[in-house]
Structure 1
Amino acid sequence: MLFVMVRLAALAYFPSVILAVEASLWDVAIIDTVAYAIVIFLYMKKPMNTHIKSTILVSVLYILAIMLLFVLGSSGAGYLWLFFLPIVASVFMKQIYAYSFLVLNVIILILFGILRYTGIYTPISLGEFSLEIWIIIIVNFATLNAFTVFAFLLLINGLTKTIESEREVIKELQTKSDELKIAKRNAEKADSLKSEFLAQMSHEIRTPINTILSFSYLIKEDIKENRLENIDEYFSSIERGSSRVIRTIDLILNLSELQSGTYEPKIEKIDLQKDVINGLYSEFLVKAKKQNLQLILKSDSSKKYFVNADLYTTTQIFANLIDNAIKYTLKGEVKICLSENDKKVIVDIIDSGIGMSKEFQKNLFEPFSQEESGYTRKFEGTGLGLALVKKYCEVNNVEISVESIKGKGTIFSISFPNPLIE
């Protein structure tokens, strides 16, 4: 606005000052010069707040209008400025300023008429003063001024509401667009997980079933020919295959139950070492020995590690973690360490296995998550185990964290809150 005003004001300023000087109207020349100087100053003062600039500018111009009115009377441009400034205020300032200027205009014109009528003040005028004419001027001026300002205010209010409405619509559309993008990503992720799930379930179920069928056929043929020396080995293979199928189905059913929210945990006081860890240690010790691994249990034998938890899901947490530690450790050892820290019971499952990359750890607890899949897989598994572990931890309100270096090993830490340690 100031950019335009500086240039337009020059068109009025220079002719006005020249004519004022020629007519020896030094008051007018000085008033115009001061007003124009303030306009230039405001234009040059870039850092100043726009609202402050508008207030100063309109105030200066209003004072200019009053002075021109009182110096030149009805022959000057003062009353035109008085008419114009409330309109400017309605556009660039708050509505209260426009209303205030309307009221002030009427007061100033009435005051001018009184001063002129009583002869207290006589401005430079080219004609005789008539009270009747001046009253007509005041009434018409105030009416036209009010109509013009109200029209501008209605227009501005309408535009403001339209703009605000459009902003709300744009904001709504942006929100819906963001929601659609998220839904699209989730759908794509779900589709990818579904494909991965079908591929892995096909492998995890078909492979052991093929094993069962193959060894069943061999048993049948050996019995026909009375060759019984390999029967025990065949039955062991069938047993392992059957267990693998059952384990896979159990994992799927357990995850489904947890995700649907139908599982109801039974939170009770349990001795973590006696009721959970010791039994799992004995169970997995055999498996570790078969893989030439050491399975080590470290704890303070003088303590009982009591916690409030659901026995079944707590057992499943450590069964999955110990099973994974043994599965992914080709040589070395797996440690189960119980400790007390900051009034918490912490169980660390530490292995010297293949470890995990930092990138993979971000999605570690996602269903069907495996660092290697498809034909590159070296280890059997559904990819559901750690997803279940995470859900089991949530059921028991326990924290799980992982530290791993690819090629060097992994540490899973399970922290139980508020234990009752004796």
Structure 2
Amino acid sequence: MGAVDLRAYPGFNADPYPHYAALRELGPVHEVFSVPGEPFWLIVGHEESRAALTDPRLSKSAASVGAEMFGVDVIGPHLLVVDPPDHTRLRRLVAREFTMRRVEQLAPRVQEITDELLDVMLPAGHGDLVDALAFPLPIIVICELLGIPSGDRDAFRAWSNEVVTPTGFEESRAAIQALAVYLDELIEDKRCQGPSGDLLSALIRTRAEDDDRLSAAELRALTFLLLIAGHETTVNLISNGVRALLAHPGQLADLRADFSLLDGAVEEMLRYDGPVETATVRYTTEPVPVGDVVIPAGVIVLVGLAAADRDPARYPSPDTFDIRRDTRGHLAFGHGIHFCLGAPLARLEARIALRSLLTRCPDLAPDPSAGPLDWLPGMLIRGVRRLPLRW
């Protein structure tokens, strides 16, 4: 059987889940392609995906197979493109500052920002939830956390969009280059300013017990990762979650009636239609058996997080949205050493945004005049560009 062309699947971008289910019926892994270029291998089974996310034969470093990762030469090495021991060292240094305690201390400020955004949003009676709430909330939070000036957020939004959903090779590379220049200047400014309370200043000065510290390139790359991953996933967690609730009015009514269900609802949103469709690329350093198939050495592998979390072998009736479901083991934030460092912050922002929105908008509903949804392209980020609603 040759590589499966996902472009031939009608409506794949809008609803990939039936197509993932069809592939999963044939086996847990398939050679596929979705854009012109070399095929890659896609894992769609839950058990197999969980195992792949911790398999050392699946390297995050393109150099391990003699390849180059797009943009790494410009932005530098970060947590998603290196293996142990480099990954272990980088994660240890950043984890010293990106703690659960720091995240929990953000809750009052996240609530304040949410209330301010809703104060501006609600008088209109209708609008785009992405533009009004789902995007500005996490970008304000991560920029304040890192100490990025508020006046730079619009430029950053344009760069970020081009990085995660590129319109072309040259456009994406230009965005990465612009971000690299901006971050170098920002880091140098903070070095000169001396200690302050933001995370980036702390990362500049953090040292391990052995006096290890982040290099200039590592600081730039890590800040790039925290900025991109620190808001793109949360934007789509919020908007995808609202879409799921509105499509399931019974579940929405249950949540409105009992907000003690909110934590479980957020986890079900992550499982049912999470913001990251496939994990970032891995490379086989040797042949890797998956089920009855052997993935050859030296090829790209994508772990289908969205596909895995709809696997009926792990979750009964996986296409049913159920905020009371036991979602333990979902892979929306990954698994193993590359588990998302920002997961606690994303969960915090989603809980506050959803509770505030549902409390203040009792008549929240899709805007019937808005036309079809505009889905984000590609297989990395799952979501829509706009979410027109009435409230």
Q: TM-score range by the shorter chain?
A: under 0.3
* TM-score where L is the length of structure 2: 0.22
* TM-score where L is the length of structure 1: 0.21
**More RCO (CA 8 Å, sep 6+):** 2
| Bigger fraction of residues in helix | 1
